[in-house]
Structure 1
Amino acid sequence: MLKHLKVFGAAFMLFAPTLGNAADLYEPPIVEAPPPPPFIEPAPASFGGWYLRGDLDYHWSSLRGTEYITYGGSGGTDRFDTTKLKGAFSLGAGVGYQINRHLRADLTGDYWFKSDFEGSTSGTCGGGSPCVSTDKSAYSALLLLANAYVDLGTYHGITPYVGAGIGGAYVMWDDLENAISGGSTVVHKGSKNWRFAYALMAGASYCLTQNLNLDVGYRFTHINGGRMFEYASGVAPGFDKGINVHEARAGLRYQFGPGNPNCAPAPQVVSYEPPAFEPPVYK
């Protein structure tokens, strides 16, 4: 009997650790989740940069008034009864700098092609008889301006703006042909001179690429008055009292460097998703 108990006790001691391990809960190894990606503050938008621009426009001009000197018994000053200037095209170019997201400035030069002038006068001719005349000429101009603009924010790639410019215009009048009804034609040599000018602008630019903008807008330009034509046959010099010009403009602006900040794409937010939870496995 004692012998059997010893055998049973030895067997129990042999198998007891195995039975205890079998009853334990199996736990998978702990895998730590990777830490979330570090937050990197986006670099500030790149402001500033030189740009070049080119423009095409169609403009309509109007004279603020005219006068000319006459000589003789009833000499003095007189003016055209009617004046009309036809529309014309112009080409422009410039260089500028984007100071920040809302402010830029540039220097521009525009050449206005000839705008035809038609006028008429009335008075007395030789012998005191009344007569009328028709007058034809044309003017062209070189306009140089220093401009500043305020960009009013960007909406779906469109940036409206307002601006102003100041500078000068070199106005070139062609010879004036004064044709008297039933009589001869008198030619007055046209005058050329520099004059003060200013401009007011409004428009919008559209982002075509990171460096290229389409610019469409309106510009009002005022040119001070000046000499219009020279003396001939007892009349002149003649003067215009200033020219007002309305311009419909379109052009391109190419910005060097990192690109236009108003064209920068919206930052992409990358979300972090922790790994899926794995339930414990029992065996």
Structure 2
Amino acid sequence: GYQFTPFLRGDITGEYRYSTGLRGSEYYKGPDFDNGLGSYGVNKSSGNFDSAVVLANAYFDLGTWYGITPFIGGGVGYAFNHVSSYSTNQQFTSPTYGYDYANPIYGCGCGQPSYNYAPVYDANGNAVYNTNSGSKFYKDKTSGSLAWALHAGLAYNVTDALKIELAYRYLNLGKAETGPGFVPCCTGSLQAIKIKDIEAHDVKIGLRY
């Protein structure tokens, strides 16, 4: 870093943010059927995220009282965001349909009965539902994104040259995405999953000389 004036200073920082788990759930309702029965589903996703970040920062010291200097600042830079081991499990629940063999319909087909294709109900009159599930997997990918930060904190003068610092930082890592997705035993690929507005809230304590 460098002290430009008694109140203005700056530095260039580099850091690696180690793997963090990604978790997400998406709930939705499917189509409603003519008989009033509906369907619904849930997608549950998981994966890992890590990032390498470089920032150019500027800080403005607001003054010193009793050896304590409050400061604010901001930074801008670039993040290399890596998404790995990302997968989605989908579960879709809908009414069970079958032919109503208990109520044959006559009048066509050369005297042969036909049957309605209708929802299945249990002995208590409740509709029977079935759940289908499947998984999608996505390739790992590293992508670059604009990163920026906001800083605020307090510095205490241990000596004229040495300060101990307590600071808060809001860090926006931009966006990331997976590689193409695939379903086991199927051909073709799926569209990548995009992740926006990746944020971090950091509390830091350290020494500044």
**C-alpha separation in 2, matches of 1:238 and 1:124:** 21
Which 5+ residue runs of structure 1 have no aligned equivalent?
1-95, 255-283
Greater helix percent: which structure?
A: 1
Partner of residue 62, structure 2: 152
> What is the DSSP-based 3-state SS (H/G/I as helix, E as strand, rest coil) of the residue aligned with 1:156?
coil
- Per the alignment, residue 108 of structure 1 pairs with 13
Q: Point out 4+ residue stretches in structure 1 off by more than 6 angstroms.
A: none
Query: d(CA) in 2 for partners of 1:122 and 1:159?
Result: 49
Residues of 2 paired with 1:201 and 1:226: CA distance?
23
What are the within-5 Å matches in structure 2 for residues 1-283 of structure 1? 96-122=1-27, 130-181=40-91, 183-233=133-183, 234-254=189-209
Deviations 1:77-133 (A, max 9, x none): xxxxxxxxxxxxxxxxxxx011221111100112212221111235699xxx75423
The percentage of counterpart residues that share the same residue type is 31
Letter in 2 for 1:189: K
Query: Structure 1 CA distance, aligned partners of 2:76 and 2:49?
Result: 21
CA deviations on 1:139-166 (whole Å, 9 max, x unpaired) are 1111110011111111111111111111
Is there any run of 5+ residues in structure 2 with no aligned partner, and where?
A: 31-38, 92-131, 184-188
Whether contact under 8 Å (2:83, 2:176) holds in the other structure is no
Residues of 1 paired with 2:4 and 2:182: CA distance? 53
Q: Larger % of strand: which?
A: 2
- Which whole-Å CA distance do the structure 2 matches of 1:144 and 1:215 have between them? 21
Q: CA deviation at 1:225?
A: 2.4
Give the partner amino acid of 2:19.
K
TM-score (norm 2): 0.66
The answer to whether the 8 Å contact 1:144/1:169 transfers is yes
Answer yes or no: is the 8 Å Cα contact 1:120–1:134 preserved in 2.
Answer: yes
TM-score (norm 1): 0.50
Structure 1 124/156 Cα, relative in aligned 2: closer, same or farther at 3 Å?
closer
Query: What RMSD over aligned residues (CA atoms) do the two structures have, in Å?
Result: 2.3
Does the CA contact (< 8 Å) of 2:7 and 2:62 recur in 1?
yes
Larger radius of gyration: 1
- The alpha-carbon deviation at position 202 of structure 1 amounts to 0.8
2:61 partner amino acid:
D
How many positions carry a matched residue from both structures?
Answer: 156
